[in-house]
Amino acid sequence: MRKKLIRFDWAIKRLLRNKANFVVLEGFLSELLYDDIKIERILESESNQETDEDKFNRVDILCLNSKGELVIIEIQNTYEIDYFHRMAYGASKVLAEHLSLGQSYSAIKKIISINVVYFDLGQGIDYVYKGRTNFEGLHEKDTLQLSLQQKQTFIKKEVADIFPEYYIIKVNQFNDIAKDTLDEWVYFLKNSEVKDEFKAKGLAEAKDVLDIMRLNKEQHYGYNRYLDYLHLKASEAFTLRVMAEEKVRIDEREKFAKSLFQTNFSNDEIAKHTGLTVKEIEAIRNKREE
């Protein structure tokens, strides 16, 4: 029987900032970025400081890796229609915060923004997306490249290597069938479980570090509060969806009722056809006559 582990979104804020546990985050980043990632240290910025308003809803961490790149990992549990905008703002803010006064623009650090979302963001059928900045010629359709001097000066291969890079993992869209090591991580993000046969970097350590039984009393309390919060937000979202669907049904019935006002049907007859009450039919008629 596979044991249930601590959710990654809670652990990343409470347990994985410990240098001894960097191996878990390094494994996740290595599988996602197809590279051997080493974390130098966890940074704090204005963008990832915890506030009372978002302490449960939004979870993020800012890392500096051994290549000198800044990696933002953000986890969002509830729906935000402008989340794409927040991704752009977050990356831009971190970029600006880490350019000291008087430094040339060439000193900006590469930003990698990783976004793990537990809602359906945008419209698409995949569950992992990558976004890079390229410049395409409007006439010749060629991709603008760095000059040889720029490549040597900045130690970059492509123009896109300078600009922020974005990753989106739409956890709930994953079908739970792990076909590769990245999928194994997505499975863990969705289910808080690691199967015995999983081989992805960092997951073996995650099974140990994120064992619920290792939490002390205070951590248990905080983790259970977090789970309660997630249940509450899920219930709120469900209630809003049901209310919205009910409003649509009511609007459709009212529209149908109004179309029947042109007939000789009585209020009782219209009520039978629409499912509205006679009192509701009378209110619609009175409103119509005002």
* Full-model pTM: 0.78
In the chain, where the domains are located: 8-214, 225-289
Instruction: Band the pLDDT of 180: cuts 50, 70, 90.
Output: very high
Residue 2 has what pLDDT?
Answer: 66
Residue 53 has what pLDDT?
Answer: 46
223-236 average pLDDT score = 83
Q: What is the pLDDT of residues 128-173, one digit of tens each?
A: 999 999 999 999 999 999 999 999 999 999 999 999 999 999 999 9
pLDDT > 60? residue 46: no
pLDDT > 60? residue 47: no
Spatial neighbors of 163 by CB under 8 A, at least 6 apart, are: 132, 133
Radius of gyration (C-alpha) of the chain in whole angstroms = 26
Residue 256, helix vs strand vs coil: helix
Residue 52 has what pLDDT?
Answer: 45
Q: What is the DSSP string of 113-127?
A: EEEEESS--SS-S-S
Q: How far apart are CA 236 and CA 252, in angstroms?
A: 24
Between 284 and 116, the more confident residue is 116
